[in-house]
């Protein structure tokens, strides 16, 4: 049962292999400032007293997760992830539904996004806890945006005034999010994040402006930047 209006659960999809990183192991298990990436990510949530629990979705044959200290934390549950991010999130939400209320808030966060600030997390929780739908952290697009064709030629300059870069966490009610993801699966809709599933189900999530340094580690230079960010914080 939720202990307060601020209470929440977290879901961390971590079954990806991170091929663009070109590393010997999935990017969530690469070393970063003395820990693995996913340990930094989980710490952002495990340090919060409002947290009710975390569900981490990992690959079925993942040899790295059991070696981490956080894997033994009583607040953390492991489930088997799926082929796509949406499958992993669905599996995690289904497991969570056995012990959480459908109206409880769930924050879904990328395993490879370890630089989430305490201030951004607090702002999302404060802004969304009374919202009827929920929302996501995001940053407004600041650069000039171009639409390009298959030949790499610029076709148009896109108006950026209404464009935002989606980040995580993405915060929605457990039952509504699970239903929206399952609806997308049944209909074969493309789901790139949780908000897109909610949108296709007819909801209008909000954006809460976050920091631009809440980066997702995708390539080697991102790891170097994250190391600097964590050292500077």
pTM: 0.94
In angstroms and rounded to an integer, the radius of gyration of the C-alpha atoms of the chain is 18
Distance of CA 4 to the CA centre of its chain: 23
CATH number at residue 162: 3.90.550.10
Q: CA 30, CA 17: separation in Å to the nearest integer? A: 11
Instruction: Give the residue numbers spanning the domain of 23.
Output: 8-232
User: Do 203 and 225 meet the contact criterion of CB atoms below 8 Å apart?
Assistant: no
Number of domains in the chain: 1
Considering the domain boundaries, does residue 117 fall inside one?
yes
* DSSP codes of every residue in 89-113: HHHHHHHHTTTS-TTSEEEE--TT-
One digit per residue, the tens of pLDDT, for the chain of length 233 reads 445 657 899 999 999 776 666 668 889 999 999 999 999 999 999 999 999 999 999 999 999 999 999 999 999 999 999 999 999 999 999 999 999 999 999 999 999 999 999 999 999 999 999 999 999 999 999 999 999 999 999 999 999 999 999 999 999 999 999 999 999 999 999 999 999 999 999 999 999 999 999 999 998 899 999 999 998 76
Q: Is residue 141 part of a domain?
A: yes
Residues near 139 by beta carbon (within 8 Å), at least 6 away in sequence: 164, 165, 167, 209, 210, 211, 212, 214
- Please, which residues have CB within 8 angstroms of residue 151's CB and are 6 or more apart in sequence? none
**Any domain includes 104:** yes
Beta pairing class for 51-58 and 8-14: parallel
Q: Is residue 3 part of a domain?
A: no
User: Is 24 within a domain?
Assistant: yes
Residue 2 lies in a domain: no
- For residue 112 the two structure tokens come to 């490879």
Q: Would residue 1 count as lying in a domain?
A: no
User: What is the rounded CA–CA span in Å between residue 124 and residue 141?
Assistant: 19
């Amino acid at each position: 049962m939720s202990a307060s209006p601020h209470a929440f659960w977290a879901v961390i999809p971590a079954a990806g292999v991170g091929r663009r990183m070109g590393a010997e192991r999935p990017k969530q298990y690469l070393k970063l400032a003395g820990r693995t990436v996913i340990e930094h990510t989980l710490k952002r949530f495990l340090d919060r007293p409002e947290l009710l629990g975390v569900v981490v979705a990992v690959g079925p044959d993942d040899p790295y997760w059991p070696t981490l200290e956080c894997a033994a934390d009583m607040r953390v549950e492991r489930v088997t992830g799926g082929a796509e991010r949406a499958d992993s999130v669905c599996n995690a939400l289904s497991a969570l539904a056995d012990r959480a209320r459908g109206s409880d808030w769930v924050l879904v966060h990328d395993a490879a996004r370890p630089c989430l600030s305490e201030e951004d997390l607090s702002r999302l929780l404060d802004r969304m806890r009374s919202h009827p739908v929920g929302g996501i952290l995001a940053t407004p697009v600041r650069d000039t945006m171009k639409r390009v064709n298959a030949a790499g030629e610029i076709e148009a300059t896109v108006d950026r005034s209404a464009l935002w870069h989606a980040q995580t966490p993405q915060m929605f009610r457990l039952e509504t999010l699970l239903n929206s993801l399952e609806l997308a699966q049944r209909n074969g809709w493309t789901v790139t994040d949780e908000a897109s599933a909610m949108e296709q189900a007819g909801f209008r999530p909000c954006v809460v402006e976050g920091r631009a340094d809440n980066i997702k580690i995708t390539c080697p230079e991102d790891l170097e930047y994250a190391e600097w960010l964590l050292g500077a914080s």
